[in-house]
Structure 1
Amino acid sequence: MKVKDLAVLVVLGAVALFGYDKYKSYAADEVQSQAVQASRPVRPASPPVEDRSWIKSDAAPAAPGSASAGAFKCDGRTHCSQMTSCAEATYFLRHCPGTQMDGNNDGEPCERQWCN
């Protein structure tokens, strides 16, 4: 065995020993850290709140004329052809701006389609 080869082996052995020593100290610190955390009461993390307002409801639509006023909301519809009942048209006329469902301004919407 040459001196050069022996020197390389000594250097590699020293590097391996140094790395192993660092690994042992890291592993010991990790075990100690886990022991400290185990002694503390762990508070469960609250689950993140997810915005699901964009998902359509699976509920079946109500039969025409049977829904209460609480079931309707202003969503941009303005014409009788977009309504499904007289009650819905009446709600939209009374509560939503810009509706075009009462041609003669008598307060009764969609007289030819729904409210006749």
Structure 2
Amino acid sequence: MFQEGKIKSYHEDRGFGFIQIEKESKDLFFHIKDFPNKNVPPKIGENLKFIIVEDAGKFKAANIVRLDLKVSEPAEQNNLRYRNIEGKVSSRDKKKSSWLNSKIITVLGLIIILGLSILVYKKYQEYQAQKQQKLEELMIAQQQIVAEQRAVHGELPELGLSEKGKKNLENVQENVEQALPVSSSSSEQFKCDGREHCSQMKSYEEALFFIRNCPNTKMDGDGDGIPCESQFR
């Protein structure tokens, strides 16, 4: 049999309270687990309809009906909850989408950087090949000039070349130096240490450094600026 009463007290942190029943001196115990619409907490003074049952030797309220709670309230609470859930889901989707976009942009950036690096490397290789080709052409021109001078003057020492020949050789040497200058790394690698002869040189670049920077070298007998021709050419 249903009875009616009002909530007299409620301990929210412990989930239980007591109901005051009219014409009854003793209050009736209730637990939140027996309440419908638990998302709306019980309020002191709220009218209830219930039946009294015995549980573990004690009486309590069961099948509780909340008389003051409007029918629309649960639906509104549920709608609010659903909106909150949808908002959280939407927020997660936005964060996930933003993360994916960031990853895609990063990958595209790396691909672009890699492509530019490959392009620059190819251009550098082409430049080195052109420089080497120019050097070889200049060396061939120098050899032709030396051959012409020797054909005119016979088997003369290198120092016996004509002034015109020397000037031509100087021009060729100047072009060679412009095409393949001694790098700063070579200058740091080599140093004047008293060596004077071609037999003491390990490379053409080392010999070139010595005749340009070190005194008393004996590696350019014809004075054309090209050291150790018979050894490295």
The structure richer in helix per residue is 2
Q: Which structure has the larger Rg over C-alpha atoms? A: 2
TM-score class, shorter: 0.3 to 0.5
Higher relative CO (Cα under 8 Å, sequence separation at least 6) belongs to 1
User: Structure 1 length normalisation: TM-score?
Assistant: 0.41
Q: TM-score, normalised by structure 2?
A: 0.21
